[in-house]
Structure 1
């Protein structure tokens, strides 16, 4: 029997299948939902049932920014994403002390302490209403800079966006002379990147 965990964030869907021992047996590719999160979650669940047979799935649970809405619509259990991130990290990496989570809208930092073999949350911090330091800013800059790679005509298909981000990262990693950009505020970072 298997359990399925689905994270429906502001930008993407992530899905894992876990066996009875708690081992991850399948991790589905990161999937951008482009705002169609209910439809994409239903497709993801159908794919899991196809891959594992519905009668072998003990439970499907959900988390993430859109998790509560999906939970109510599909009648499946929901857990708050900060809890799932910490519990998951502590299970996968026993002794972990620091967890950094960066999503499309939120960036979080968790510090974990240990006492007599048990962990507890020592501190937690997250960004405020500004999306600075999150994936959405990186996406925006990749889209803006893509015109110098692909031309002015922008293709918003899933495959093209994924290729753009992949190329954006590869080009950045090849840089021998990184551009000096502000690191504390994306408004200043964006201003520093205008010349790129």
Structure 2
């Protein structure tokens, strides 16, 4: 066996809603990953994620660590990261791994949403919506809880809708008010849920896509990409096909790991080890 066969790289993506880790081998194939709630304590979430990963990967097999996400500076200090990258770059790299001809990336996470335009394998433009939570994973989670259903139920119900209601999703307050009104007037849950999905996609088009040209192939990333109602709404509202990775919630971490594989200088990693976040410290 070649001595480089077991060499791996770790990507860490810390967001305000979730903390993700991904391990890739020296060929860029994902070997392991996990996603845990950040729950207001990124240090604890990161430690728990490391504890999960260490069961399948001894630290002496790691050749490098890269971090991204809103908590990347904190993660770099805690872990001893070799590379720090922004979320746009990491999401773009992950999408190129899914399809090297990708032209557009839609990424919807827990607290923000992004559109990334890729031309000739490089980021040409991007847009983000970080002002309002409407259209993000946390908003969908909240509405599912309010309706007394799981996110999985929400996804399945939206596929069954035949007469979706109209919802104003420019603001979380307006959207919730419309949903309550539709419930009180007797609309079915499936039509309310899919109406919400359509409204969120319309809001994404207005506030994030704006005048940008969306070309196929389009890769849909982030945890919300698992929602079949949102998938359906994008296909119907924008008339596009979507490519969805096997683990869309991990793409930021995967992109960071791939960048570490490509860019880390030879030599020992700065990674402090899997015990660096022991609760006894």
Which blocks of at least 5 consecutive residues in structure 2 are unaligned?
1-6, 184-281
- The whole-number CA distance in structure 1 between the counterparts of 2:50 and 2:20 is 11
Equivalent position of 1:194 in the other structure:
180
Structure 1 contact 3–18 (Cα < 8 Å) conserved: yes
Structure 1 contact 97–113 (Cα < 8 Å) conserved: yes
Residues 1-196 of structure 1 mapped to structure 2, 5 A cutoff: 1-28=7-34, 30-77=35-82, 78-114=84-120, 119-146=121-148, 164-195=150-181, 196=183
How many residues in Structure 1 have an aligned counterpart in Structure 2? Answer: 175
Equivalent position of 1:157 in the other structure:
none
Higher relative contact order, structure no. (Cα contacts within 8 Å, ≥ 6 residues apart): 2
Structure 1 contact 9–64 (Cα < 8 Å) conserved: yes
- The whole-number CA distance in structure 1 between the counterparts of 2:113 and 2:166 is 22
**Larger mean Cα displacement after TM superposition, 166-175 or 101-110:** 166-175
- The whole-number CA distance in structure 2 between the counterparts of 1:92 and 1:169 is 23
- The whole-number CA distance in structure 2 between the counterparts of 1:42 and 1:27 is 14
Deviations 1:91-147 (A, max 9, x none): 332010000111122111011112xxxx2222211114222321121122112212x
- The whole-number CA distance in structure 2 between the counterparts of 1:103 and 1:68 is 19
- The whole-number CA distance in structure 2 between the counterparts of 1:73 and 1:186 is 35
Query: SS state of the match for residue 86, structure 1?
Result: helix
- The whole-number CA distance in structure 2 between the counterparts of 1:104 and 1:21 is 30
- The whole-number CA distance in structure 2 between the counterparts of 1:135 and 1:50 is 29
Structure 1 contact 49–57 (Cα < 8 Å) conserved: no
Structure 1 contact 105–135 (Cα < 8 Å) conserved: yes
Equivalent position of 1:156 in the other structure:
none
Deviations 1:7-37 (A, max 9, x none): 1112112221100011112233x32221222
- The whole-number CA distance in structure 1 between the counterparts of 2:40 and 2:171 is 26
Equivalent position of 1:161 in the other structure:
none
Query: SS state of the match for residue 136, structure 1?
Result: helix
Query: SS state of the match for residue 125, structure 1?
Result: strand
More strand by share: 1
Structure 1 contact 99–109 (Cα < 8 Å) conserved: yes
Which blocks of at least 5 consecutive residues in structure 1 are unaligned?
150-163
TM-score, normalised on structure 1? 0.80
